[in-house]
């Protein structure tokens, strides 16, 4: 079964700016998710690279990245949990299923927040200062795409599986 988000970017070729940014964000979210499909618990934690980067760790990081940009920066929601110091490393309690569920839930929150704002609406980042939703979309697309590429290489090294083309 093909993920319905995987061709969103292609279908958004003549869409308005909001639809285009939203489609590309969802496209790369789906691409990353597809790279996790069928991954064993052991392989989700395994790292074939010196840095210790694993697909499970990248997935965990992407969940926190979504929260940081959409909830913390754009929506300025107080009382959010802090990003864990080891956000790139799954804990013993983390499973592929739980990490995917948390990521999916966080992406849905991001979508709702984005839908409630104009592209020119701003939030304040602690280092960058004021950033627009437009900027946040571009950054989230860039970061998710970069990590999807890393996941593709890691997955190929782990079990030879390559995912959808980026």
pLDDT tens per residue across span 127-150: 999 999 999 999 999 999 999 999
- Interhelix angle 55-66/17-36, nearest 10 degrees: 150
pLDDT in tens, 57-77: 999 999 999 999 999 999 999
CB 129 within 8 A of CB 123: no
Q: Which helix (H) or strand (E) covers residue 93, if one does?
A: none
**Residue 104 Cα distances to 32, 45, 131, 152, angstroms:** 11, 19, 24, 19
- Which residue bears the tokens 């309690």? 93
- Mean pLDDT to the nearest integer, 89-107: 96
- Mean pLDDT to the nearest integer, 120-127: 95
Between residues 28 and 86, the one the model is more confident about: 28
pLDDT in tens, 29-61: 999 999 999 999 999 999 999 999 999 999 999
Q: In terms of CATH, what superfamily is 8-159?
A: dinb family like domain (1.20.120.450)
Give the largest Cα separation in the chain, rounded: 45
Residue 28 has a pLDDT of: 94
CB 9 within 8 A of CB 23: yes
CA distance 90 to 86: 8
């Amino acid at each position: 079964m093909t993920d319905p988000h995987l061709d969103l970017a292609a279908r958004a070729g003549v869409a308005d700016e909001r639809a285009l940014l939203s489609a590309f964000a969802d496209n790369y979210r789906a691409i990353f998710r597809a790279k996790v499909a069928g991954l064993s618990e052991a392989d989700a934690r395994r790292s074939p690279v010196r840095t210790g980067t694993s697909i499970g760790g990248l997935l965990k990081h992407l969940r926190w990245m979504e929260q940081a940009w959409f909830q913390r920066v754009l929506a300025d929601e107080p009382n959010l949990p802090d990003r864990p110091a080891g956000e790139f490393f799954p804990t013993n309690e983390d499973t592929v299923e739980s990490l995917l569920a948390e990521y999916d839930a966080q992406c849905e929150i991001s979508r709702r927040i984005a839908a409630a704002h104009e592209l020119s609406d701003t939030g304040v980042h602690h280092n960058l200062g004021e950033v627009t939703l437009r900027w946040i979309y571009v950054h989230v697309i860039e970061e998710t795409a970069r990590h999807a590429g890393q996941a593709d290489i890691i997955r190929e090294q782990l079990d030879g599986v390559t995912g959808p083309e980026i």
